[in-house]
Structure 1
């Protein structure tokens, strides 16, 4: 198995990786729009947080050989009460033409403070591990 870590102290605390690859399967852990210090980017803007989180998730997948076109499933977790349309529209922009399976749902709480959105993705890698 190959893994990619972002350097987040939470990864060490919880013993997990940003993404993992077994065979050709790549799974990217829940990813929020955070800066290097773990502070939420774009407070109050679910669409901007979705874009940043998906970009981070796609970078992790790419390090393990999975391109955007290899993504087969995405999940968008929205903090309860968060307007969903902007997040879904960003997902549509990023994955148009790929059209992976998707689940979008509201949840009671997200762990990163001030985060409205967390995303996950799964892919079948078409390329070699780069990390």
Structure 2
């Protein structure tokens, strides 16, 4: 049984059904956006460039938030998973371009690897949109 007023948002990726996830889920005023990477049309955007990947990811997140009736201003938390923490300044600079005035609670964690070796960053967000 699903929660009342539960809305699912899809990216259209073929593995959403196989893995059993949604790009984003909205329940009431809460929106959770799944881990998002810089993949478009099956290709990694900005290979080797953490700044470019972060910008691409945040643009994708902004788009799904708009589909859910929200905006970046509604984001309360971001979680960034990076494969090379030494690139934190470039990743942080891109994050700041989107969230500089919004200033959500943010975490950046280095991880061993992401699903594709060309991916340097994965970001998920939480938002509250009454």
Q: Normalized against structure 1, the TM-score is what?
A: 0.90
5 Å-filtered alignment, 1:71-82, equals: 71-80=75-84
- Can you list the C-alpha shifts for 1:31-74, whole angstroms capped at 9, x where unaligned? 0001112x211100000000000110111111111111100000
Aligned to 2:106: 102
Q: Is the 8 A contact 1:46 1:82 kept in 2?
A: no
CA distance in 2, matches of 1:81, 1:120: 17
How many residues get paired?
Answer: 125
- Can you list the C-alpha shifts for 1:78-124, whole angstroms capped at 9, x where unaligned? 01455111000110111111100000111011013410010001101
Aligned to 2:88: 84
Identify unmatched segments of 5+ residues in structure 1.
127-131
Q: Normalized against structure 2, the TM-score is what?
A: 0.91
CA distance in 2, matches of 1:55, 1:76: 15
Aligned to 1:129: none
Alignment match of 2:15 (pick from 10, 14, 18): 10
Off by >3 Å, runs of 4+ in structure 1 = none
Q: Is the 8 A contact 2:85 2:109 kept in 1?
A: no
The alignment partner of 2:46 has SS state of: coil
Identify unmatched segments of 5+ residues in structure 2.
1-5
CA distance in 2, matches of 1:117, 1:22: 27
Q: Is the 8 A contact 2:37 2:119 kept in 1?
A: yes
Alignment match of 2:70 (pick from 59, 66, 70): 66
CA distance in 2, matches of 1:62, 1:22: 15
Deviation of residue 13 (structure 1)? 1.6
Query: Does residue 53 of the first structure (1) align with residue 63 of the second (2)?
Result: no
